[in-house]
Amino acid sequence: MVRKYLFLGLMVMLLATLVSLVVQGRKKEQEQREKSLKAPLEIVRTSPSSPTRVLAPADLAVVEAGGGSTAGLQNLGGNKYRSPMLRLGYLDRKGKSLGNRDRGFDLDLPAGQTIALPDLDPPDAPAGWARRSIRVLYAELAPN
């Protein structure tokens, strides 16, 4: 007989807990619904257009003159580029890498033209380098 009343008491407690959880859930739903009606639905903003960056453009070639002391960029394609970023790799006489330096240039490169690169080597270039490799990392497309 005691088991019967104990089981009935536990069932009543379980039912009361479930009812309280359902009531709390409905209250939270109602609060969220009221908050969403007060807030603005959507704000759309437009951003100004920005240049398109081309990674390792195939139509930009590095031309070296004067035994590697000066270099230039040649645009072989029909697109105008600006602000190229170059990776300068420095090697010693044995061909061992001394490090890389990334260097950006603030210049325009019209289609079909070659432009000399001023002050190619940065001040923090490794000492004792014998050869240099130059690679175009990216450039931004300029409006025509």
Residues 57 and 77 in one domain: yes
DSSP bridge partners of 35: none
- Pair 24, 66 in one domain: no
**What's the pLDDT at 47?**
67
Considering its fold, how many domains does the chain have in total?
2
Dihedral angle, C-alpha 74, 64, 136, 112, nearest 10 °: 0
64 and 106 share a domain?
Answer: yes
Question: 65 and 134: one domain?
Answer: yes
Full pLDDT tens readout for the chain, 144 residues? 788 889 999 999 999 999 999 999 999 999 888 887 776 667 777 767 667 888 888 899 998 765 556 788 999 988 899 999 999 999 999 989 999 999 999 999 999 999 988 778 778 888 888 888 889 999 998 886
59 and 38, same domain (yes or no): no
Q: What does the alpha-carbon distance between residue 55 and residue 52 come to, in Å, rounded to a whole number?
A: 10
Same domain flag for 56 and 123: yes
Q: What was the pLDDT predicted at 53?
A: 81
Question: Could you tell me the CATH number of the domain that includes residue 110?
Answer: 2.60.40
* Same domain membership, residue 116 and residue 69: yes
For the whole model, what pTM was predicted? Answer: 0.60
Residue 58 and residue 36 in one domain: no
